[in-house]
Chains A and B, each alone.
Chain A
Amino acid sequence: DAKTTQPTSMDCAEGRAANLPCNHSTISGNEYVYWYRQIHSQGPQYIIHGLKNNETNEMASLIITEDRKSSTLILPHATLRDTAVYYCIVRVNSGNTPLVFGKGTRLSVIA
């Protein structure tokens, strides 16, 4: 079972920042927070991951609270192409382990 809780859906205006929250209150010390997204029925796409420090890449920023029980994915300037289901996943980073997907958040970016 997924160890994360996310809102079912969110809307965001085009050009504004999209902030997607995720609760993972039972996260273990060796588990990372991963974010993937799935646009329509395409294969999921990796966005970003982190352990305890905030992370940023060309796609997004990841803010993890100090107690690591929750995190927020930030898309700084959302576009219509960012409309997708966003999945927050906790996972150990040692070796290659399967992803356990929850229901995710359906983000709709509105013009």
Chain B
Amino acid sequence: DSGVTQTPKHLITATGQRVTLRCSPRSGDLSVYWYQQSLDQGLQFLIQYYNGEERAKGNILERFSAQQFPDLHSELNLSSLELGDSALYFCASSVEGGEPYNEQFFGPGTRLTVL
């Protein structure tokens, strides 16, 4: 158990719909990362938040957005869903600081299926 929790575990929805994935980081971790893992693209970084502020952006579509709340939990919003958005979505968290605290702890993931 990494200490990072994600809900829901599974999500099945239809094309065109909107969903929200939730992540609670480990206690004390200020950074939250979202990654997408699909069969054809592998594990890809989407976006990072640090203490409520967006810090880095990866291959995140404009239809996707995220935020980090004052209690440090984060939500990833996916809208106008397409079949190709079906994937595993992972959240990870880490402590801000130097060595050896750059390890990222991953949650169990949310499996999204778009039908």
When distances are taken between beta carbons in the complex, the residues of chain A under 8 Å from B76 are none
B contact patch SS: strand
Q: Which of A38, A87, A98, A100 has the most CB of B within 10 A?
A: A98
Pair B88/A41 contact, Cβ less than 8 Å: yes
Pair B42/A43 contact, Cβ less than 8 Å: no
- The residue that A43 contacts in the complex, of B4, B50, B58, B94, with Cβ under 8 A, is B4
CA distance A42 to B48 in the complex (A): 20
Q: Decide if B104 is an interface residue (CB 8 Å cutoff).
A: yes
CA distance A91 to B111 in the complex (A): 27
Nearest-CB residue, chain B, relative to A46: B103
Q: Decide if A96 is an interface residue (CB 8 Å cutoff).
A: yes
On whether A43 and B48 interact (CB within 8 A), knowing A93-B102, A99-B104, the answer reads no
Band of interface residues on B: 20 to 34
Pair B104/A46 contact, Cβ less than 8 Å: yes
Nearest-CB residue, chain A, relative to B58: A98
When distances are taken between beta carbons in the complex, the residues of chain B under 8 Å from A69 are none
- The residue that A98 contacts in the complex, of B2, B45, B88, with Cβ under 8 A, is B45
Nearest-CB residue, chain B, relative to A95: B96
When distances are taken between beta carbons in the complex, the residues of chain A under 8 Å from B103 are 46, 49
